[in-house]
Amino acid sequence: MECEFPRVNEPSDEIKKILKSVKVIAIPGLSPDESKPSHRVAKYLKSVGYKVVPIYPKEDEILGEKVYRSLKEVPFEIDMIDMFRKAVVAKDMLEVMKSRDDIKVLWLQEGIVNNEVGEEAKSLGYKFVQNKCTMVEHRGIFG
């Protein structure tokens, strides 16, 4: 296993703008297991007013929200992807973003780094955050 240092990331002021502007967050890897970080983060994001969209291979509902098997199935606009999957999957997320006009932010959760995808995302005009937790960042900025 090769660990990467995150070379590509939005600065703190841009992260604040992202968290202020997005409303609908798709969460690939959102687990129904309450003990998992993805569940705790999604529950927090929902509690502070974001609409969370679970992307998970099983279940019909997580946190009271309809579960979709893939981002391609989501029939409404998404502002941001908050990914809880292996770093290699970020390339697939970027491909979905390129096929839709709505998603403008790709966020890889804490411990997930993919500089190659980050560089491509930035070159295409997307916002890109990696190796940071949306819940931790939101709490740090907004209290």
- The SS3 call for residue 138 is helix
pLDDT digits over 62-100, tens only? 999 999 999 999 999 999 999 999 999 999 999 999 999
**Beta-carbon-side half-sphere exposure of residue 70 (alpha carbons within 13 Å):** 8
> For the domain 12-142, what is the CATH code?
3.40.50.720
Query: Which of 56, 39, 107, 51 minimizes the C-alpha distance to 76?
Result: 51
What tens digit of pLDDT does each residue of 67-77 get? 999 999 999 99
CA distance 128 to 122: 7
**Coil, strand or helix at 68:** strand
Q: How far apart are CA 93 and CA 105, in angstroms?
A: 10
Q: Using 50, 70 and 90 to split pLDDT, how confident is the model at 1?
A: very low
pLDDT score at 4: 75
Handedness of CA 117, 119, 123, 128 (dihedral sign): positive
Domains in the chain: boundaries:
12-142
The answer to whether residue 6 scores a pLDDT higher than 90 is no
β-pairing, 127-129 with 105-108?
Answer: parallel
Q: How confident is the model over 115-130, as pLDDT tens digits?
A: 999 999 999 999 999 9
Question: How much of the chain, in percent, has pLDDT values that exceed 90?
Answer: 93
Using 50, 70 and 90 to split pLDDT, how confident is the model at 2? low
All residues at 6 or more sequence positions from 130 whose CB lies less than 8 Å from its CB, including other chains: 6, 8, 9, 107, 108, 112, 113, 114, 115, 118
pLDDT reading at 23 higher than 80: yes
